[in-house]
Amino acid sequence: MQYVVITGGVLSGIGKGTIASSLCHILSNSGVKTSALKIDPYLNYDAGTMNPYQHGEVFVLDDGSESDLDLGNYERYLNRSLNGDNSITTGKVYKEVIEKERRGEYLGSTVQIIPHITNEIKRRIRKVATDQDVDLLVIEVGGTVGDIESMPFLEGLRQLRMEEKGNVIFCHVTLIPEIGHEGEQKTKPTQHSVRMLREIGIQPDILICRSKHYLSEDARRRISMFTDVDKKAVVSVYDVGNAYEVPEIIEKQGVIDIIREKFSIPDEPFQDIWVDYKKKLLYPQENVKIGIIGKYTDLHDAYMSHKEAFNHVTGSTGIAVDIKWIDADTVTDETSLKSLEGILVTPGFGYRGVEGKIRAVKYARETGMPFLGICLGFQVAVIEYARNVLGLKDANSTEFKSDSKNPVIDILPEQIGVTDMGGTMRLGSKKVLVRDNTMAMELYGKKEIYERHRHRFEVNPKYIEDLENNGLIFSGTDEEGIRMEILEMKDRKNFLASQFHAEFLSRPLNPSRLHLHFIKSALEFKQSKIALLEGGS
């Protein structure tokens, strides 16, 4: 097994995840069976209970694991599904070590960071490498070199290179600031970052330097001289219009050849399968204005997979998506919605912003504007319909009003009485049955699909018949026909919502069917508005 370890220095947020994903894409499209692993040094067991404002989107995997959003990037760039083993946290490692100690598996030894914690880290890394039948594992270490939280992981990886001689490459990502009117590229932060890495026993083999512009030859020479990294292994990743351009930038600088010099991997040329995709992404022919209605809109990473699903649609259709981020609390009337060509109501938990989301659904339903609701967006669509079409003015979810007289959304029966927040949800890939002669069947083209879920509440079965008798159609259900999964409206093709998260399985060359249909509908809506205006003039 061979490993490429991605570490970061200078500051966080410089794109390690995109670079790790890009390496995965290049390798997997050069004949190398590749997988990825994310190390997050935080003490949480996983990202499931973390506030999106602190850590961005919680990405759900097929097996129900709640992970860092970088796992979503890996899946999109690799075009394969991963599982919970592909995410390691301090919480997972320490929990396992303490449980082993309690079971007496250490035979009375004093349990320490070295060797017990570092051995558990290495065990988990090797498990992924062997269980997933791959030739190479890309490992991204969260945070920056020097963080106290990441020290045990870096030590474990240092030991891994010593034990797996010739099979571990370290790739260090740093920032090259540009200052002054002429944009002089400063290499000192990179020199200091590499020095800190070397102090803990790790010499990088490849440096990936993030900068605003392409790295100058002088800067590359100085970095090579002061870090003892071969000049050809000093790679420039400069700012681009879209992250899907990064693999091509890295590949053209010979990174695969550098890895081949150290590893025995297939000598196959890189197949750029995204040529047409990137062309449409960078040079779209049409555009639509979409409002994303949510409660975390100040941090766009909280809705990362929706942004990416829209990228995938653009790369497929050439329709650019101009996102308007709208805080659900500010939707008090139709003012912020009039200029849109489509409304997406996002997932979320808690009551804040729900009434604004309900108003947005009502506006889309009454005006004919294309609507897509995901998870909570699906649930508020049911609440809105019950209130304003069925006339149940107090309709609500028991998540927000436990004593509601018309709880059209209610708790999952098996979750009643559960108090552990980390285990109270329906998570992961579940089978969805699609009804014939519906918009959903037209989009999916098959009776059984699998989609990823993350929710506690569902449509109350007591209200389904009344809702459907009044024009709402539940076109997708679970296997028992008890849980409602997809809704649409009678005689309306551009109003859809799903209890599942369609965005999680969207891929560059295979966009989410719901997002694709939504954007196409938005373009039709825009064109009809233009035609109406031109006809009126």
Which residues share a beta bridge with 37?
A: 139
Token look-up 């308007």 returns 324
Q: Of 174, 126, 156, which is closest to residue 14 (Cα–Cα)?
A: 174
What would the 3-class secondary structure string for 426-469 be?
Answer: EEEEEEEEECCCCHHHHHHCCCEEEEEEEECEEECHHHHHHHHH
Question: Is 534 annotated as catalytic?
Answer: no
| Pairwise CA distance, residues 261 & 300, whole Å | 39
Question: Is 306 annotated as catalytic?
Answer: no
| Pairwise CA distance, residues 474 & 304, whole Å | 27
Question: Is 171 annotated as catalytic?
Answer: no
- Spot the catalytic one: 24, 171, 503, 517: 503
What does the DSSP assignment read for 72-140? HHHHHHHTS---GGGEEEHHHHHHHHHHHHHTTTTTTPPP-IIIIIHHHHHHHHHHHHHHTT-SEEEEE
Helix (H) or strand (E) holding 408: strand 406-411
Which residues share a beta bridge with 3?
A: 137, 168
3-state secondary structure of 363: helix
- Spot the catalytic one: 375, 455, 515, 517: 375
- Spot the catalytic one: 453, 455, 501, 517: 501
Tokens in use for 285?
């022919």
Q: Is 480 exposed, middle or buried (0-12, 13-18, 19+ CB in 10 A)?
A: exposed
Token look-up 């108003």 returns 359
| Pairwise CA distance, residues 391 & 371, whole Å | 21
Any residues with CB less than 8 A from the CB of 322 and at least 6 apart, and which?
Answer: 287, 288, 289, 290
Q: Which residues are catalytic?
A: 375, 501, 503
